[in-house]
Amino acid sequence: MLYINGRPIHPLISFLVSVAAVAAFIGLGILLLPIIGGIMIFVLFCVAAIAAYGAYYRWRYGDPFKRAHEEMIKRMQQAAGGAANPRQSTARPSEEPEVPRGEAKTGIRRTTVIEDAVVVEEIRRRGADESQDQR
């Protein structure tokens, strides 16, 4: 039994009030459907307008990513002193002959000299490194 202000309320009346509340929410939702639909159409219109402007911009000014890539390559060429092709490798092989793998006792040392860069020495150790590689 449900009590409001100390008075008992009949269960049938509380059930009818619950049904009326649910019906009111459903009715409000049905009445708001045109408004919700209008908002969704407006959002779709905005998305279509942005897509159309993007197509116009690409047609008028070209691909912005390609243009940015070309500008980056141009700046890299200017910074490198006007190299012909920035993708061309400037590494030179070392003058030291590489020791065959079976003859090296302490490891293989290879020095790579790159223009306008730090000299890098690579030493490959034999023993513990190779035992892990063979597993």
**At 7, is the secondary structure helix, strand, or coil?**
strand
Cβ contact 1:8 at 8 Å:
yes
The single-letter code of the amino acid at 67 is R
Mean pLDDT over 114-131 rounds to 64
Of 106, 114, 111, 107, the residue nearest 96 (C-alpha): 111
Q: How many CB atoms lie within 10 A of CB 9?
A: 13
Q: pLDDT, tens digit, for every residue of 31-47?
A: 999 998 999 999 999 99
- Distance between start and end Cα atoms, the chain: 77
Q: How many CA atoms lie within 13 A of 65 on its CB side?
A: 1
Please tell me the pTM assigned to this model.
0.38
Structure tokens at 54: 């993007």
Contacts of 94 (CB under 8 A, 6+ apart): 110, 111, 112, 113
Looking at every residue in the chain, the average pLDDT score rounds to 78
Q: pLDDT, tens digit, for every residue of 49-85?
A: 999 999 999 989 888 889 899 999 999 988 887 555 5
Q: pLDDT, tens digit, for every residue of 85-98?
A: 545 555 666 666 66
**Residue 120 pLDDT > 70:** no
Domain ranges of the chain: 2-67, 90-135
Q: What percent of the chain has pLDDT over 70?
A: 59
